[in-house]
Structure 1
Amino acid sequence: MRILLISDIHGNYPALKAIDQRLNTSGFDYIINSGDSLVYAPFPNETVSWLRAHQAISILGNTDQKVIKLISGKKMKKPGNPEKRIMYTTTAEALDDAGRSYLRSLTTTTKLKIKLRHPEKTSPKHQVKLGIFHGSPADHDEFLFVDTPDSRFLELAGLTDCQIVVTGHSHSPYHKTLANVHFINPGSVGRMFDGNPSASFATLEISEKTITVQHFRIAYAIDKVVMKIRENNLPEIYATMYQQGKKLN
């Protein structure tokens, strides 16, 4: 069983295209997206089209939820920073009907029962439960980092019935195994903050005996993101963020 893990795309369609060019995405059994698909890079419709075309299993992140508020005519209390707010409002305004319907169809978490079959048998040999959460099994907005204490992961392991927990939100790639639970964050496809602007994602391979995770960082056409930000007269600080791979506000 081969699974492509992506998260925190943040509307960065050029980064998704780079993944297509690096991997044969049609060769995966599943593509799992842990949320924050939209906002910040100005390609919302292209991003949704990619997710739909690839039949990705997606959940809502916190940025996606704010966009749903805006397209539903509701007020958004946060973020208060005007530079951030305009990235939300312009995303909501640009999102077409198909994108709006797609976003509204998503939930904040989902679980998969993955049945592994013996190559010479037709009945399931083994079943693995995989949970997809944006923050953590305890809190949609919880940040879990590579250096989060193991004690916290142990607490979370006791709150889930999943053998594999896939998260996003923190943009921090990791794979930790505690109390027989695999915690995996693929990092951010569209907006890494560690000073390396390349896209981050991971692959997950599950067999009857092993669970293997591999993380990747790949270059993509950042210049296209920067050009689109400037064409749309969006805050220049975001062009700088994409060029530097840093969070500056």
Structure 2
Amino acid sequence: MRIAVISDIHGNLEALVRCLDDIDRSGVDRIVNLGDAVGYGPQPEEVLVLLEKMDIANLLGNHELAVIDKVHRSDFSPEAIISLEQTLKYLTSASLLYIKNLPYYREMIGALMVHGCPPDSPTVYLNHMSLPEIKETFASNSFDIAFSGHTHRLMLIGYDGKDLQFDPLQQETIKLEPDYRYIVNVGAVGQPRDGDPRAKYAIWDSHRNALEIRRVAYDISRTANLIIKRGFLRRDADRLFSGDCPKQYKLTRAAANDR
């Protein structure tokens, strides 16, 4: 079976649609989103409606958790809270109910799907964990392969029962070793933070035991302009262009007038 694993759409409908077009051409059997469909981006409602319309399996991310539980907003930066408050303005009551019913994890043909850290955390960042903590995650869980998002960066962590191996997944296709267990971070569709502004996602081929890393270009300026038009932070727009190294861009006249 071929499963397209996407994550961290963050209200970026333009990037999601382009990824779905790419997925459609790639011959997959199922699609799963690992959470954070909302936050930072200008079209959270439209993204959730499309995911539900296409019957795409979805998970609870830390941004969805903060939408439905104010306690978890204390972990957010002041800028992220501003984005969250703006996001709430665009969500309908139906979408809020949809978010409340999202699971913390899913299991698909032997694979574990989670937003943050296996087995079920939507808030723990893998790239903030120590090596002993990552080893303990493997040791205390029985998955052979787990998929996560949250960091907005591609990463493959392999474990042979003794040592950890890290691969930033720069290559397009990677064959997984049968004697290893893996955690795959699939990057971000709507807000990559790895210096490459293209949308990222992965395809897992369970029969071939292989990963395909997909990088999809989209019209970033369209999303960036809409971010400004809909009252989100300029920072949320700037970060789309090159991840952690934002570049300035020119707003359209219409978007500039709506600031």
TM range (shorter): 0.7 to 0.9
Partner residue, 2:252:
none
Partner residue, 1:13:
13
Work out the CA distance in 1 between the residues paired with 2:77 and 2:193: 21
SS for the counterpart of 1:10 is: coil
Query: For each residue in 1:24-44, what CA deviation from the matched residue of structure 2 results, as whole angstroms up to 9, or x when unmatched?
Result: 179422212111111001111
Work out the CA distance in 2 between the residues paired with 1:155 and 1:221: 41
Q: In the alignment, is residue 181 of structure 1 matched against residue 177 of structure 2? A: no
Cα separation, partners in 2 of 1:156 and 1:247, compared to 1, 3 Å: farther
Structure 1 contact 198–245 (Cα < 8 Å) conserved: no
Partner residue, 1:120:
none
After TM superposition, the structure 1 = structure 2 runs for residues 95-174 of structure 1, keeping only pairs within 5 Å, are: 95-112=91-108, 114=109, 129-137=110-118, 139-145=121-127, 152-174=133-155
How far off its partner does 1:165 sit?
Answer: 0.5
Work out the CA distance in 2 between the residues paired with 1:21 and 1:75: 34
| Aligned sequence identity (%) | 27
Partner residue, 2:209:
211
Structure 1 contact 133–166 (Cα < 8 Å) conserved: yes
Q: Give 2:144's aligned amino acid.
A: Q
Work out the CA distance in 1 between the residues paired with 2:244 and 2:77: 20
Cα separation, partners in 2 of 1:89 and 1:247, compared to 1, 3 Å: farther
- Number of aligned residue pairs: give it: 226
RMSD: 2.4
SS for the counterpart of 1:49 is: helix
Structure 1 contact 135–168 (Cα < 8 Å) conserved: yes
Structure 1 contact 6–189 (Cα < 8 Å) conserved: yes
SS for the counterpart of 1:23 is: helix
How far off its partner does 1:222 sit?
Answer: 0.8
Partner residue, 2:224:
226
Partner residue, 1:23:
23
Cα separation, partners in 2 of 1:80 and 1:6, compared to 1, 3 Å: closer
Structure 1 contact 137–159 (Cα < 8 Å) conserved: no
Which of 56, 67, 74 does residue 77 from structure 1 map onto?
A: 74
Unpaired segments of 5 or more residues in structure 1?
A: 115-128
Q: Give 2:123's aligned amino acid.
A: D
TM-score (norm: length of structure 2): 0.79
Partner residue, 1:235:
233
